[in-house]
């Protein structure tokens, strides 16, 4: 995208030319511009534009070239504003150049990446305005091939911007959806935790109630008397102890029989006469 330099000479009577006249300032600015010292050219060109009106000169010429210097410095936004001011010129040829170059400035603004936190429509507005500038330039000069090429490039850039913005919008929606899903998942997890806590609490209460019931039942049952100690079973004796016990039992039984025999052996006299 080539800039169109307008190095027109501001016409003024020779007798009135002074060192600080718009004509001299314009000449100094253009000398610096042609040397490539664009920053140095800005001040005299803008001063020439400021003094042009009082000297019955067209300020659009120095404004246009000041805009070109700003473009060379990469200050596209400021350049666009200067071109806009230059469009006030009644010179149609100058208007055509200003439309074309302002379209270029807006194109550069549109293709420059902007941070995502900036307004999403900033680049879209710039490319839309660039297309309008090229259209007006073509209206003034329908056969201008450079303007036609730049117009097509602007259409392609517009399509790219729209696709990029759509992609960013989809990504943003996806992030929002994932964020919402994560929130819902966290809520579900919290609900599950609360349910588990309730279950544990109910289980503890049931166990506590069951223990209380068991304690109550034990308190209601009568106390059992301690059982008498049973004799040691014979099978727990040694063979010698068992034999001695058996002999003693036999002796006791024999003594009992002998006693019984003595008692039964005593006769009782019968006094009755048969």
Nearest Cα to 48, choosing from 85, 31, 23, 79?
23
- Supply the pLDDT for residue 14: 44
HSE at residue 4, side-chain half, CA atoms within 13 A, is: 19
Q: Is the dihedral of CA 87, 92, 98, 104 positive or negative?
A: positive
Tokens encoding 256? 């009992």
Apex 162 CA angle, 174 and 87, nearest 5: 145
Helix axis angle for 76-86 and 60-72, nearest 10°, is 160
Note whether 93 and 101 are within 8 A (CB).
no
- Supply the pLDDT for residue 171: 92
Q: Is the dihedral of CA 4, 121, 139, 95 positive or negative?
A: negative
HSE at residue 195, side-chain half, CA atoms within 13 A, is: 6
DSSP 229: P
- The residues near 46 (Cβ < 8 Å, ≥ 6 apart) are 62, 63, 66
Note whether 55 and 17 are within 8 A (CB).
no
Instruction: Kindly report the pTM of this predicted structure.
Output: 0.63
- Supply the pLDDT for residue 253: 84
- Supply the pLDDT for residue 162: 92
- Supply the pLDDT for residue 274: 27
- The residues near 5 (Cβ < 8 Å, ≥ 6 apart) are 33, 65, 68
17-39 exposure pattern, b = at least 16 Cβ within 10 A, e = fewer:
eeeebbbbbbbbbbebbeeeebe
Q: Which domains does the chain have, with CATH numbers?
A: 14-164 (1.25.40.10)
Tokens encoding 182? 């994560």
| pLDDT tens by residue, the chain, 274 residues | 777 666 554 544 444 455 589 999 999 999 999 999 999 999 999 999 999 988 889 999 999 999 999 999 999 999 999 999 999 999 999 999 999 999 999 999 998 866 554 555 678 899 999 999 999 999 999 999 999 999 999 999 999 999 988 988 899 999 998 999 998 989 889 889 989 998 999 999 999 888 888 888 888 776 655 555 555 555 567 888 888 888 888 888 888 777 776 555 554 444 444 2
Longest alpha-carbon distance in the chain: 208
């Amino acid at each position: 995208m080539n800039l169109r330099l307008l190095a027109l000479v501001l016409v003024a009577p020779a007798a009135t030319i002074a060192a600080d006249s718009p004509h001299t300032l314009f000449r100094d600015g253009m000398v610096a511009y042609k040397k490539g010292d664009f920053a140095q050219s800005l001040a005299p060109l803008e001063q020439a534009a400021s003094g042009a009106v009082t000297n019955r000169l067209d300020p659009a010429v120095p404004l246009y070239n000041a805009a070109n210097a700003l473009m060379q410095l990469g200050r596209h936004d400021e350049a666009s504003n200067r071109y806009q001011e230059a469009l006030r010129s009644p010179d149609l040829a100058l208007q055509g150049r200003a439309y074309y170059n302002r379209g270029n400035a807006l194109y550069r603004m549109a293709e420059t990446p902007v941070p995502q936190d900036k307004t999403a429509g900033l680049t879209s507005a710039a490319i839309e305005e660039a297309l309008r500038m090229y259209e007006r330039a073509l209206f003034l000069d329908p056969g201008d091939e450079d303007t036609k090429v730049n117009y097509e490039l602007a259409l392609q850039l517009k399509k790219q911007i729209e696709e990029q913005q759509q992609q960013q919008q989809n990504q943003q929606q996806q992030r929002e959806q994932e964020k919402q899903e994560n929130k819902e998942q966290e809520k579900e997890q919290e609900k599950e935790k609360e349910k588990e806590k309730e279950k544990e609490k109910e289980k503890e209460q049931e166990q506590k109630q069951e223990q209380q019931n068991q304690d109550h039942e034990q308190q209601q049952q009568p106390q059992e008397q301690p059982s008498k100690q049973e004799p040691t079973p014979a099978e727990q004796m040694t063979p010698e102890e068992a034999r001695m016990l058996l002999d003693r039992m036999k002796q006791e039984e024999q003594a009992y029989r002998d006693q019984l025999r003595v008692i039964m052996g005593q006769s009782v006299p019968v006094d009755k006469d048969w």
